[in-house]
Amino acid sequence: MTSSMRPTPPAEPGVRGETLRRGLPGFVSLVGAGPGDPELLTLKAARRLAEADLLLYDGLVPTEITARATRAQHFCVSKRAGRPSVDQETIHQVMVRGARRGKRVVRLKNGDPFLLGRGGEEALALRAAGIPFEVIPGITAAVAAPALAGIPVTHRGLAAGFTVVSGHAPAAFEPILGAVAPGSMTVIVLMGLRNRGRVAETLLGRGWRPQTPAAIVLAASTPEMRVWTGRLDQLGIAPLDASAGAPGTIVVGEVAYLSTLVGGTPARTLTAAAVAQPERTLERVGKQGNV
């Protein structure tokens, strides 16, 4: 979206009616809700929620965040694996229809709208329909969840980069993980709890060491947050209670061991019997690197 085609964003609080004058179109905000903690919501996101007339939110967004949209109609448009979900085209239609009726529409997504959230598809649909919109980034769980567990996704001497993949289906992650050289970077898997065993098999098949540190962060930034740490070859049998539907973030790489050293946000810890070769990781941490 070029600057010449970008519409003027909604007015700030106190002049709300200016964007809803008769004859003027509505406006859509594609908003990132962050990892779950309402205090990690951006100021602009909170402002748009307070201004909203129509709120379309993902199922993982906590009620403490959706409750900020006090004036809006609320509709859950959740997409969760194995559960009934709203068709993506229907979401597009509802956003467009609401905006054409002069409403301020907020499409609220867990994490960041442009990271595995179909935000790009929704932006294209809005542009094709001639609807003015904006994108408000959010803190992604791909970085926030490891950080809250005491895991930096990059660390001098351990990892100079990271890759983020969707774990919802092997067809989505296997081609990417199969191309990642063993130990070359940190691997972050979102929406992959059900397929964590297959993720481990893929990396092991690529030549990753069975002893590579791994971690799983459940319900990051919420009071229910839990952290499992162990080895890559234990990832598939990690004793997790995923039945409650809590979102999970998988971390694989030497940096995962730092969770035991750095700590992080207080959380119930589920640690495997043996975490791989901490002396190797500690040795590498102590070395100078170009990271």
Q: Kindly list the domain boundaries of the chain, sorted by start residue.
A: 16-136, 141-286
pLDDT tens for 54-101 read 999 998 999 999 999 999 999 999 876 556 789 999 999 999 999 999
Place of tokens 């999970």: 248
Residues of the chain short of pLDDT 50, as ranges, are: 1-23, 243, 273-274, 276, 288-291
**pLDDT on residue 267:** 59
**pLDDT on residue 1:** 41
217 near 240, Cβ under 8 Å? no
| CA distance from start to end of the chain | 33
162 near 188, Cβ under 8 Å? yes
The C-alpha atoms of residue 218 and residue 203 are separated, in whole angstroms, by: 21
CATH architecture of 141-286: 2-Layer Sandwich (3.30)
38 near 64, Cβ under 8 Å? yes
3-state secondary structure of 91: helix
**pLDDT on residue 201:** 98
The C-alpha atoms of residue 172 and residue 166 are separated, in whole angstroms, by: 6
**pLDDT on residue 195:** 96
**pLDDT on residue 240:** 80
112 an active-site residue?
no
**pLDDT on residue 263:** 78
Q: Which amino acid is at 103?
A: K
E strands of 79-225, at which residues? 104-109, 133-136, 162-166, 186-190, 213-218
Query: Which CATH code is given to the segment(s) 16-136?
Result: 3.40.1010.10
191 an active-site residue?
yes
Backbone angles phi, psi at 139, to 5 degrees: -75, 120
Question: Which one from 53, 112, 185, 191 is the annotated catalytic residue?
Answer: 191
- CA distance readout (Å), 205 to 182, 192, 195, 212, 214: 10, 18, 15, 13, 16
The continuous run of DSSP H or E covering 153 comes out as none
**Residue 123: burial class (beta carbons within 10 Å; 0-12, 13-18, 19+):** buried
239 near 219, Cβ under 8 Å? no
Nearest Cα to Cα of residue 217 among 243, 185, 252 = 252
44 an active-site residue?
no
**pLDDT on residue 291:** 44
pTM of the model: 0.84
**pLDDT on residue 273:** 46
Question: Which one from 79, 95, 185, 225 is the annotated catalytic residue?
Answer: 79
3-state secondary structure of 215: strand
Helix/strand/coil percent split, the chain, to 5: 35, 20, 45
Nearest Cα to Cα of residue 185 among 254, 277, 119, 86 = 254
Question: Which one from 37, 58, 112, 233 is the annotated catalytic residue?
Answer: 58
